[in-house]
Amino acid sequence: MEWPALFNAGRFPDLAPRPAAGRNPFQIDQDRIVFSRPFRRLQQKTQVHPLVSNPHVRNRLLHTLEVASIGRSLGFAVGSEMKAELAAAGQTPDDLGYLVQAVCLAHDIGNPPFGHAGEEVISDFMAEWLAGPGAASGLALDADLACFDGNAQGFRILTAADGYRERGGLQLTFASLAAFIKYPWDGQDPRAARDGRPGVKFNAFATEAKAFAAVVGECGLSGPLPRHPAVWLMEAADDITYGLADLEDAVELQILSYDQYEALVLPVARVDRERLAAEDSVPQKLALLRSRAAGQMIGELKKGFLENREKILAGEMPVRKGLLDLCDGALRKAFDRIRTTNREVLYLHARKVEFEIGARDTLEKTLAVFLEACLAYAQSADKDVARMKLRPRQALSLMQDYHPRAGMTASETIRCAVDFVAGMTDNYAATLAARLRGL
């Protein structure tokens, strides 16, 4: 892979680069993402703990902004060590920082209500629906309707489902779209499987196959693992951010004590104990430990990227390994202890689990209603909504501009129901599900 193609500033689907005075093309991408509706909806989507009323606990939007901050710093730090390589491609360290920041802002834009639990519910329900009503419909439907991943949904949002709908989505640069692709394969690829479940981690539905191929081709992504180098930095920024922030939220929610937090984070932050003791409140101590730990990890990950950049550019890195996995030594081991605590204590906390069990009922109800409506639309000969039965006609009216359109394939029509439900906030999904039950 070559840096000039990797920084391709042409805009999807077929727009040439358009220089703007005073704005880098990747800053323009940032603006388009931030001002989009799916980005705004992240403010009421789960990061870890669903439907919390404490404003100090992260939602998906706050998490995204923090990832973007870390990503910009990491991208600039790496770019500063690669000035000559970037200059040869007509780019600067700032350009790499802006690109990483843009893709960090978009990295969770496809996440459904209730986070990863929501992803699994949608996948399970769609697999059952495709084998039942979908198969009985007689329509030629894509097999990957049985799968759902927030990354693939995000790529669909950016390229088709929102913004200029069916005309390029948010019309981002090819570089930003390429840097969004964490998993460069589709849902039917064996690499998408996790723990025996097919179609868990992938980046493109069949409905976006042409868009995916265009982005890969325009940016020259190649090799056994054809990932854009900025993907590694975005993913690492996400790892740092949620590792530290999720633990901090656990203290705020009194799931962990401050002393437990300090014992875990101090070996990463490497703050002098006298300096830490000078802070006279727990929030100040938390902030100091978090910021110093993030700084230490940025330095470690920068080193890991630079040591492996030839393999990264050749697309020869190991599958299912992130930049953090390539780091070694005491810092990595200390950060692994944080991730283990998050996984074993926070992510299985009773409050979180109770809401996620309830999320299944909520999402199954909304999916059932809107899939029924979209199926009726797909099966109608003339696409005249006024001639359809009352229930699907009413459900389609609720979908507003996520309503299916004449000319869409059957699979695209069914995907409209998934777009609508996956785009809901936690609050709206819960409230709507109750109303649809007559409550």
- Report pLDDT for 18: 83
pLDDT tens for each residue of 49-81: 888 888 899 999 999 999 999 999 999 999 999
- Report pLDDT for 170: 97
Q: Print burial letters for 104-117: b (CB count within 10 Å at least 16), e (below 16).
A: bbbbbbbbbbbbeb
Architecture of domain 113-146+353-439: Orthogonal Bundle (1.10)
Phi, psi angle pair for 11, to nearest 5° = -105, 130
**Alpha carbons 135 and 138: distance in angstroms, whole number:** 6
- Report pLDDT for 391: 96
Burial of 398 from C-beta contacts in 10 A (0-12 / 13-18 / 19+): middle
Find the helix or strand (DSSP H, E) in which 85 lies.
Answer: helix 83-88
Please tell me if the domain spanning 3-112+147-219 has the same topology as the one spanning 229-346. no
One digit per residue, pLDDT tens: the chain, 439 residues? 999 999 999 999 999 998 888 889 999 999 999 999 999 999 999 998 888 888 899 999 999 999 999 999 999 999 999 999 999 999 999 999 999 999 999 999 999 999 999 999 999 999 999 999 999 999 999 999 999 999 999 999 999 999 999 899 999 999 999 999 999 999 999 999 998 899 999 999 999 999 999 999 999 999 999 999 999 999 999 999 999 999 999 999 999 999 999 999 999 999 999 999 999 999 999 999 999 999 999 999 999 999 999 999 999 999 888 999 888 789 999 999 999 999 999 888 888 888 889 899 999 999 999 999 999 999 999 999 999 999 999 999 999 989 999 999 999 999 999 999 999 999 999 999 999 999 8
The DSSP symbol for 142 reads: -
Q: Domain ranges in the chain?
A: 3-112+147-219, 113-146+353-439, 229-346
- Report pLDDT for 240: 96
Taking phi over 0 as left and psi of -120 to 50 as alpha, with beta for the rest, 168 belongs to left
- Report pLDDT for 327: 83
- Is the Cβ–Cβ distance between 385 and 144 less than 8 Å? no
- Report pLDDT for 328: 76
**Alpha carbons 205 and 200: distance in angstroms, whole number:** 12
3-class SS of residue 20: strand
pTM passes above 0.75: yes
**Alpha carbons 383 and 398: distance in angstroms, whole number:** 17
For 130-257, where are the alpha helices, taking DSSP H only? Answer: 135-136, 150-156, 174-180, 209-219, 229-252
Q: Which CATH class is domain 229-346?
A: mainly alpha
Going by C-alpha positions, the residue among 436, 435, 439, 430 that lies closest to residue 112 is 430
- Is the Cβ–Cβ distance between 421 and 366 less than 8 Å? yes
- 13: preceding bond cis by omega (within 30 degrees): yes
- Is the Cβ–Cβ distance between 146 and 123 less than 8 Å? yes
Find the helix or strand (DSSP H, E) in which 293 lies.
Answer: helix 282-314
Residue in the block written with tokens 């759902």: 148
Q: Which CATH number is 3-112+147-219's, of 3.30.60.50, 3.40.30.10, 3.90.550.50, 1.10.3210.10? A: 1.10.3210.10
The DSSP symbol for 204 reads: B
- Report pLDDT for 19: 82
- Report pLDDT for 355: 85
- Report pLDDT for 205: 98
Residue 1 in tokens: 């892979």
pLDDT tens for each residue of 134-156: 999 999 999 999 999 999 999 99
